[in-house]
Structure 1
Amino acid sequence: MPYTQAMIHETQRVADTVPLGVYHATTKDTWLMGYVIPKGTIIIPNLSSVLSDESQWKFPHDFNPSNFLNNQGEFVKPEAFMPFSAGPRVCVGEGLARMELFLILVTLLRRFKFIWPEDAGVPDYTLIIGLTHSPKPYRMGVRLRGNQ
């Protein structure tokens, strides 16, 4: 189910739920692109910049699951995909979270039909910005699929 995996990952990339990763600190004086970063400097990874970097994604500003599919339609996870932070302190639960997202999504889609209510108007994709990015509250119709 490569397209399902690609859709889940693209949702995480576009949602950019935690735009700034866990703070890090340099353990020694470090040179980066001609600048010295002294030992003990707090480093805040800007995950948003990587998740929408035009040099890393086929469609950096659009929701398009083919960002995670190769020419044969197989799922690939680019190195620039890092919603769980980066480096040696990446979230230890990433594998479990990815597995749970997949299992929950396919179970919900198999058992239920999700319907945008006719009286809800056009979806509002404006985010509530804070420590995390969250969607504005909305209503969604959910119906049990037949032949269960």
Structure 2
Amino acid sequence: IDEVLEGKDHASYEDRHSMPYTMAVIHEVQRVANTVPLSVFHCTTKDTTLMGYNIPKGTFVIPNLTSVLKDEGQWKFPHEFNPANFLNDQGQFVKPEAFMPFSAGTRVCLGEGLARMELFLVIVTLLRRYQFVWPDDAGEPDYTPVYGVTLTPKSYRMYIRRREA
């Protein structure tokens, strides 16, 4: 981040092309956090067969995004946080088809493009200006989510320090 933004006051969305690891980290956070595990309801428009199951026209289908975001056949490291899930052998950012934190099908989130841009700009700005410190006395973080309509992390403490210029 510091190298790409050297001499610039602010990041631009175009800077993402020069920050493959940063993009991989942001996408991996979304994959692992999986805040909305069930997508919006869809309805089949015709009789269909999926993996040997007959699904009649008019059947409600609820995509389970967790099953895709943790699929062992889709990810190099499906059960751990590892930005390499989004990097090819040359270290370039790649977004696998299995990455769909904003829903699936024709009814994807209308705000997805704006959300991606804002995520990049906010996270890069925060990481450029601040250091996030896990307290020594806090022990290991507990990544077990709190289940509800969305998945949320458990409460925790963290220190934030301004980085030296």
CA change 1:117–1:33 in 2 (3 A) is: closer
The answer to whether residue 146 in structure 2 is matched with residue 131 in structure 1 is: no
What is aligned with 1:88? 106
CA distance in 2, matches of 1:56, 1:124: 25
Letter matched to residue 78 of structure 1: P
Deviations 1:82-128 (A, max 9, x none): 11111100111111111111110110011111111223222121210
The answer to whether residue 59 in structure 2 is matched with residue 41 in structure 1 is: yes
- What is the CA RMSD across the aligned residues, in angstroms? 1.1
CA distance in 1, matches of 2:51, 2:155: 43
Q: Identity of paired residues, percent?
A: 73
TM-score between both structures, scaled by the size of structure 1: 0.95
Letter matched to residue 75 of structure 2: W
Letter matched to residue 155 of structure 2: P
Deviations 1:35-63 (A, max 9, x none): 22111111010110100111101111111
CA distance in 1, matches of 2:128, 2:52: 53
The answer to whether residue 87 in structure 2 is matched with residue 69 in structure 1 is: yes
Deviations 1:9-35 (A, max 9, x none): 011111111111111011222222332
What is aligned with 1:60? 78
> How far off its partner does 1:69 sit?
0.5
CA distance in 1, matches of 2:87, 2:46: 39
Letter matched to residue 107 of structure 1: T
Structure 2 stretches lacking a partner, 5+ long: 1-18
What is aligned with 1:114? 132
Moved over 6 A (4+): none
CA distance in 1, matches of 2:138, 2:53: 52
Candidates 16, 20, 37, aligned match of 1:2: 20
What is aligned with 2:45? 27
SS in 1 for 2:124: helix
TM-score between both structures, scaled by the size of structure 2: 0.85
CA distance in 2, matches of 1:32, 1:64: 31
Higher percent of residues as strand: 1
